[in-house]
């Protein structure tokens, strides 16, 4: 318990120094959190390259918005929220770009499916195959332990919608994993 308190005090000290424009202090915070942020981005995007870009963008935004961190929560929790917002923003932008491309090229929309093409190898792949809403709720709630209220706040959805999406994600994962076992 004392170790956790020391770690939290150290983190807060590094945050305060970084807020005073100390790049060395921000580097310490980066090194302490980069793996967790990358893992979150990878689970939400399902794509390594996209996750790397989102991780980089999350730390850039964190540096630019560090003055807004008040210390009401742990820095890692605040940083997770920054990363979630970066991922969701990139996905919205990507969706708009795809819509424009479709409109220009007059291509019929591709039917989205979660069906296994015989290549489903593990749970991580199954999570990546979930529809984005269900995947985001599953990652935030089931993997990272955020409450439905917190998950809803981060994703801009109602708490009940978060619960419904989690139920949907679990059902779809079971279906995918059962199909893989056949």
- CATH fit for domain 111-182, picks 1.10.1060.10, 1.10.3720.10, 1.10.540.10, 1.10.10.10: 1.10.10.10
Q: Give residues with Cβ within 8 angstroms of 131, minimum separation 6.
A: 112, 114, 168, 172
Task: Give the per-residue pLDDT at 1.
Answer: 45
C-alpha angle 136/128/122, rounded to 5°?
A: 130
pLDDT tens by residue, the chain, 182 residues: 444 445 778 888 999 999 999 999 999 999 999 999 999 999 888 889 999 999 999 999 999 999 999 888 889 989 999 999 999 888 877 665 555 444 444 443 433 444 444 433 567 778 888 888 888 888 888 878 888 888 888 888 898 988 998 899 889 888 887 777 76
- CATH fit for domain 1-110, picks 1.20.120.160, 1.10.1740.10, 1.20.1250.20, 2.40.50.100: 1.10.1740.10
Tokens of 37: 């942020």
Task: Give the per-residue pLDDT at 90.
Answer: 87
Task: Give the per-residue pLDDT at 2.
Answer: 45
Instruction: State the CB neighbour count (10 A cutoff) for residue 93.
Output: 10
Task: Give the per-residue pLDDT at 112.
Answer: 41
Residue 139 burial (CB < 10 Å; 0-12/13-18/19+)?
buried
Write down the domain spans for the chain.
Answer: 1-110, 111-182
Task: Give the per-residue pLDDT at 94.
Answer: 66
């Amino acid at each position: 318990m004392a170790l956790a308190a020391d770690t939290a005090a150290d983190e807060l000290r590094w945050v305060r120094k970084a807020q005073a424009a100390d790049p060395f202090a921000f580097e310490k915070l980066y090194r302490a959190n980069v793996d967790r942020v990358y893992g979150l981005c990878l689970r939400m995007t399902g794509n390594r390259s996209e996750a790397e870009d989102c991780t980089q963008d999350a730390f850039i935004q964190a540096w630019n918005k560090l003055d807004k961190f008040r210390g009401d929560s742990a820095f890692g929790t605040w940083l997770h929220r920054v990363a979630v917002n970066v991922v969701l923003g990139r996905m919205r932008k990507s969706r708009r770009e795809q819509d424009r491309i479709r409109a220009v090229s007059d291509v019929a929309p591709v039917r989205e499916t979660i069906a296994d093409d015989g290549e489903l190898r593990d749970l991580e792949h199954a999570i990546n195959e979930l529809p984005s809403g269900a995947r985001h709720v599953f990652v935030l709630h089931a993997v990272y332990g955020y409450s439905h209220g917190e998950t809803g706040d981060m994703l801009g959805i109602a708490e009940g919608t978060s619960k419904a999406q989690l139920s949907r994600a679990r059902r779809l994962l079971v279906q995918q994993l059962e199909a893989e076992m056949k």
